[in-house]
Structure 1
């Protein structure tokens, strides 16, 4: 599968947060391409080793379709990825700092906090054949004839 075919968002930010709520390290901004994903993977491995942890869960805000490439790439590299609702991210951010200002770094911290508290959905992975079948069915059937 071409991971980067569906990417629309050009960059993203991540933040590491331990289950007890402590922030570790600096936030990381990376590009939504193979080099950026490799940079993310290196950053995760570095933090896992430095804090003697065995696994990490990567949270992704469900905006557009840019998350598809990242989630599939993480799955292929044996990492768990989960989705968070963008409306909940917005509300939690506003409750956290009582402002309407928005940035990727703030969102990354809020998403890390939401995952720590269990506000996420698991990604159901499907085979490439199933994805192709779903896309071909949608292109054959006009949207007005879908149940």
Structure 2
């Protein structure tokens, strides 16, 4: 309800289709009438300045009092634009990619994806209040969020590797875990580095230590 109340007849609505190198934007009013031509701009500060100049010109010409920019959070490519808009104190929000996929069929009964079409769909979702305002932390809070994200990725990768090792041991060296309770201990890892399966242990047995 809060989101849709921000959209009035004096609000210029911008939909941006996010990509890796170039974004595409379209503008409309709250009735869905497109205003001006679509614009393609690069994912850098120069491109963002061009984008802001474009919608400010439309806003002045059409007499809008405020602007809201909607975008699809594609990967991390949307973050630069979001930070730039926040710096310029421009309202912005993100729409659910699943909503974009389902809504694009309403205009022409086709799920085909292309940048200009998606930008229009995103703008309409914002007009309907189907968007969220993301929290973009700054300073140490941004660093903490990134550190937590990296830790989660590393934890997931570690679980995948551990699962693969258990799979390999079960397939090729089932006797291993009857000798070592934990394959991650130093002696077990050293044994695996020398003998990766039971057959290699039979072919190249460990030599006994020389007694003094």
**TM-score, structure 2 normalization:** 0.61
Q: 1:134 to 1:34 in 2, by over 3 A?
A: same
Contact 2:67 2:90 in 1 (8 A): yes
- Kindly tell me the number of residue pairs found equivalent between the two proteins: 139
In the TM superposition, structure 1's runs of 4+ consecutive aligned residues that sit over 6 Å from their partners are none
Superposition map of 1:55-66 within 5 A: 55-66=66-77
SS in 2 for 1:39: helix
Superposition map of 1:111-122 within 5 A: 111-122=122-133
Q: 1:133 to 1:27 in 2, by over 3 A?
A: same
Superposition map of 1:32-47 within 5 A: 32-47=43-58
Superposition map of 1:1-147 within 5 A: 9-139=20-150, 142-144=154-156
Contact 1:85 1:120 in 2 (8 A): yes
SS in 2 for 1:47: helix
CA separation in 2, counterparts of 1:8 and 1:26?
19
In terms of mean alpha carbon deviation, does 92-101 or 13-22 score higher? 92-101
In terms of mean alpha carbon deviation, does 126-135 or 32-41 score higher? 126-135
SS in 1 for 2:146: helix
RMSD, matched Cα: 1.8
Contact 2:100 2:122 in 1 (8 A): yes
1:140 deviates by: 5.0
Which structure 1 segments of 5+ residues have no match? 1-6
1:55 deviates by: 1.1
1:8 deviates by: 6.9
Whichever of the two has the greater Rg, that structure is 2
CA deviation string 1:47-99 (max 9, x = no partner)? 11111112110001011111111101100001011000111101100232111
Which structure 2 segments of 5+ residues have no match? 1-17, 159-212
SS in 2 for 1:46: helix
